[in-house]
Amino acid sequence: MKLVIGIVRPEQANEVLEALYRAEVRGFSISRVQGHGGELDRVETYRGTTVKMGLSEKVRFEIAVSDPFVQTTIDALREGARTGDVGDGKIFVLPLEQAVRIRTGDTDHGAVTPVGK
């Protein structure tokens, strides 16, 4: 059981969602984050005040999956998020100690497998 974290461009978030649905990865959460990953700074000017924007808007996917699903999930994230330019984001895979489905009390594999599978 792993926790897959994908940090992607906001404009690619819908593509990632589509790729995840197609790969039948159905349980995840997303949040809007700001990050810096070496991409070129955007220069903006507000009435004479010029600034370099060091942080970029990103969308962070958190996906808890059973081991056989890890590679599928990573592939789906890459497929949806990749544009080829600097700033496409990162994927981190972490070991996951325990998962509990609140409604039923299911743990681990049962908890990360979507209902109805």
Partner 1 sequence: MSGLGLSAAVAGIDTGDTAWMLVATALVLMMTPALGLFYAGLVRSKNTLNTFMMCVAAIAVAAVTWAAVGYSLAFDGDGSIIGGFGNAFLSGVDFAPREGTTIPELVFFAFQATFCIITVALVSGAVVERMRFGPFLVFAALWSVLVYAVLAHWAFGGGWLMAGGTLDFAGGVPVEMGSGFSALAAALVVGARKDYGRQALLPHNAIYVLLGAGLLWFGWFGFNGGSGFSTGDPSVLAFTNTLLCPACTLVVWFALDLLRGRKVTAIGAATAIVVGCVAITPAGGYVSPGWAMLLGALAALPSYAVIVWRTRTGVDETLDVLAAHGTAGLFGILFIGFFAETAWNGVSDGLFYGNAAQLGDQALAALAAPAYAFIATYVLLRVMGAVMPLRASARDEALGMDVIQHGEEAYVTGEGAILVMPDDDGAVERPVANPA
| Identity at 50, one-letter amino acid code | T
CA distance linking residue 20 with residue 27, whole number of Å: 9
- The torsion angles phi and psi of 60, rounded to 5 degrees, stand at -110, 120
Shortest spacing between CB 107 and partner 1, in angstroms: 36
Residue 6: beta bridge partners?
61, 91
| Identity at 2, one-letter amino acid code | K
* Residue nearer to partner 1 on the CB measure, 47 or 117: 47
Q: How many CA atoms lie within 13 A of 2 on its CB side?
A: 15
Three-state DSSP at 85 gives coil
* Residue nearer to partner 1 on the CB measure, 29 or 49: 49
Footprint on this chain of partner 1 (rule: CB under 8 A): 9, 11-12, 14, 34, 36, 41-46, 48-55, 83, 85
CA distance linking residue 19 with residue 25, whole number of Å: 9
Shortest spacing between CB 87 and partner 1, in angstroms: 10
Shortest spacing between CB 98 and partner 1, in angstroms: 34
* Residue nearer to partner 1 on the CB measure, 53 or 115: 53
* Residue nearer to partner 1 on the CB measure, 14 or 71: 14
Shortest spacing between CB 51 and partner 1, in angstroms: 4
